[in-house]
Structure 1
Amino acid sequence: MRALITGIEGFVGGYLADELINNNLDVYGTYFDERTLEDELMKKAKLYSMDITNDKQVEKTIQEIQPDYIFHLAAQSSAGISWQKPQQTMTININGTINLLEAIRKLKIQSRVILIGSSEEYGIVKESENPISEEQELRPGNPYSVSKITQEKLAELYTNAYGMDIVMTRSFNHTGPKQQPAFVISDFAKRIVEIEHGSIEPILHVGNLEARRDFLDVRDVVKAYYIIALKGLKGEVYNVGSGKSYSIQELLNYMLDKSSIKIDVQKDLKRMRPSDNPVIQCDNQKLRRLGWSPMININQTIDDVLAYWEKRM
């Protein structure tokens, strides 16, 4: 069986490749920027350069690979960047998805497509609406979330109109080793390790520490994607999250307690987001009914992220 991962060079792609290989699938991947590829990844999968916004490139790649499964990770996945580059976000996330679905339709390939969405689609959520199920009203609050909702609607259309085999996720925050420091746990871990090595002064500038978020280890995320590919129902959406919420403060405290250096934590107004939801917690019962459950607790994830940054110093 052949599995194609679009955007394999991203944070999740390498982990997903490992999961699929461990389950005896032949893994293929597309990438946009060769500079972001790791040598290790190049040994695992057969790789193709592909611009998801180029319909001819997409069709040629799908025709050559003839995949049984397609995990569509290629995306502009930053809500913040989507405000700065809304046109680019829509082009990549919406037109890119159309290019993929059209290639499958035209080539009459019987691929199962797993479209990766985001919990950002839920937008502003009242505290009383937690944990958030797939039935929760979608209230997009940025261009990125609009693009992901549109991606879902396209999937529904192609499923109903053409009988295509598509399943979708709404993935909550995920983290782990190798994640870029633009994300909170990786950011804190990197800066704490830098402080311990004397690279920067022992001051940690932070944003809103009271917000509670659902974090899932990336290694559990990719196991969820594999289970959804195998057992998910055509046309259905599955939340992917831990089912637990943690305050940013408690996650930071865990990291600070492990440090041998006293670190001064200072609030930085530039890092504050006044519109932050106070609580976001995933209802993952629908996914659990497929036989999945998270295996890695948050403390182990943080330990592994700290170890990753320590190794890179």
Structure 2
Amino acid sequence: MQRILITGANGFVGQILCKILQQVGHHVIALTGSTPTQQLHAHQTLTCDILNTVALEQVVAQAQPTHVVHLAAITNVPQSFKEPLLSWQTNVIGSVNLLQALRNQAPNAFVLFVSSSEVYGASFKQGIALAESSLCQPLNPYAASKLAAEAAFNEYFRQGQPGVIVRPFNHIGAQQSADFVTASFARQIALIESGKQEPVLKVGNLEASRDFLDVNDVCAAYVQLLQLPERGGDYPRCFNICSGQPRKIHDILDEMLAMSNVAIQVTEDPERMRPSDIPCATGSAQAIRDTTGWKPTTNLKDTLQHLLTYWRGQVKA
């Protein structure tokens, strides 16, 4: 049984990952930046700001993890433009604080750092599925801070801390913030159906294509990667988590609109148009497939239906 410390455990992915890891029999220690508003699927819940070096080291000493998943971050791209200092501090300095706490208190803990496909940035303009060796050219403060954090992790890996970096592509599902595109669609549809929003759905760039995954498939990839130390042998230090099958956002919206029996008009909202948008972002999952056998198993239509059902419940409540 692994003792797994999960930072950012009360976030969208963290809550789901805690539940999955607990269900398969691991001892889950949830680390949150503030007191969680709901019960987490964890054996222990600890609270600490990852920018507080003393408190963070005490938490790691208390948890004594064999494995760590580092999810805690500022993850919203528009927010990273509005609050770049907070993004850099949280995503880079917070990561270094964790690494140093692990070096001092749990030097053998296997750490999985959740970076982002956003680090590839301008390289997506090639229009091909990018591999982990592709050039990273970030186009926003969030992506740049994640790439800087990757550099910190690679340095600690070089000095002996075991672990890997993952670059997940767009993962979606219930409980995701409506700041993200599919959740925004679902929330607006639910509000329109309930009569709480006029029948006009506001959108950004619908022509862009993205590599969408169900959040449960992403978490399944993390679970498999956490088993790497037990498998023995050499393994890559960086893995894309993706489907390799980009979908146009317009098509995603059409599928969701077809799930509603209300007539809805779609209109572009200048506030939602990203200045650094790229036409197509997709990746190659060959490395993780070769290493663990992982591949996504959830039908995207099922994910979208689940997402819409979740937001209908939220709006009704």
Query: TM-score when scaled to structure 2?
Result: 0.94
- Give 3-state SS (helix, strand or coil) of 1:138's partner: coil
Do the aligned residues in 2 keep the contact of 1:215 with 1:245 (CA within 8 Å)? Answer: yes
Task: After TM superposition, give the deviation of residue 152 of structure 1 in Å.
Answer: 1.0
Task: After TM superposition, give the deviation of residue 174 of structure 1 in Å.
Answer: 0.6
Taking the aligned partners of 2:18 and 2:207, their CA distance within structure 1 comes to 35
Do the aligned residues in 2 keep the contact of 1:117 with 1:148 (CA within 8 Å)? Answer: yes
Do the aligned residues in 2 keep the contact of 1:166 with 1:234 (CA within 8 Å)? Answer: no
Q: Which runs of 5+ in 2 are unaligned?
A: none
Do the aligned residues in 1 keep the contact of 2:288 with 2:294 (CA within 8 Å)? Answer: yes
State the AA in 2 paired with 1:175. Answer: I
Task: After TM superposition, give the deviation of residue 235 of structure 1 in Å.
Answer: 6.2
Task: After TM superposition, give the deviation of residue 194 of structure 1 in Å.
Answer: 1.1
What does residue 201 of structure 2 align with?
Answer: 204
Do the aligned residues in 2 keep the contact of 1:71 with 1:113 (CA within 8 Å)? Answer: yes
What does residue 30 of structure 2 align with?
Answer: 29
State the AA in 2 paired with 1:192. Answer: I
Task: After TM superposition, give the deviation of residue 22 of structure 1 in Å.
Answer: 2.1
Taking the aligned partners of 2:110 and 2:13, their CA distance within structure 1 comes to 19
Do the aligned residues in 1 keep the contact of 2:114 with 2:167 (CA within 8 Å)? Answer: yes
Equivalent residues in 2 for 1:1-313, closer than 5 Å: 1-34=2-35, 36-39=36-39, 41=40, 44-161=42-159, 163-231=160-228, 236-289=237-290, 290-312=292-314, 313=316
Taking the aligned partners of 2:155 and 2:286, their CA distance within structure 1 comes to 26
Paired positions, count: 309
Task: After TM superposition, give the deviation of residue 2 of structure 1 in Å.
Answer: 0.5
Do the aligned residues in 2 keep the contact of 1:11 with 1:179 (CA within 8 Å)? Answer: yes
- Give 3-state SS (helix, strand or coil) of 2:294's partner: coil
Encode CA deviations 1:39-85: one digit per residue, 9 max, x unaligned.
2x1x5331001110011111101101100110001111122111111
Query: TM-score when scaled to structure 1?
Result: 0.95
Encode CA deviations 1:204-227: one digit per residue, 9 max, x unaligned.
111111000011111011011111
Q: Which runs of 5+ in 1 are unaligned?
A: none
Task: After TM superposition, give the deviation of residue 107 of structure 1 in Å.
Answer: 2.3
Encode CA deviations 1:71-109: one digit per residue, 9 max, x unaligned.
001111122111111111111111111111111112253
- Structure 1 segments (4+ residues) deviating >6 Å: none
Do the aligned residues in 2 keep the contact of 1:168 with 1:237 (CA within 8 Å)? Answer: yes
Do the aligned residues in 2 keep the contact of 1:245 with 1:280 (CA within 8 Å)? Answer: yes
Percent of pairs identical after alignment?
Answer: 36
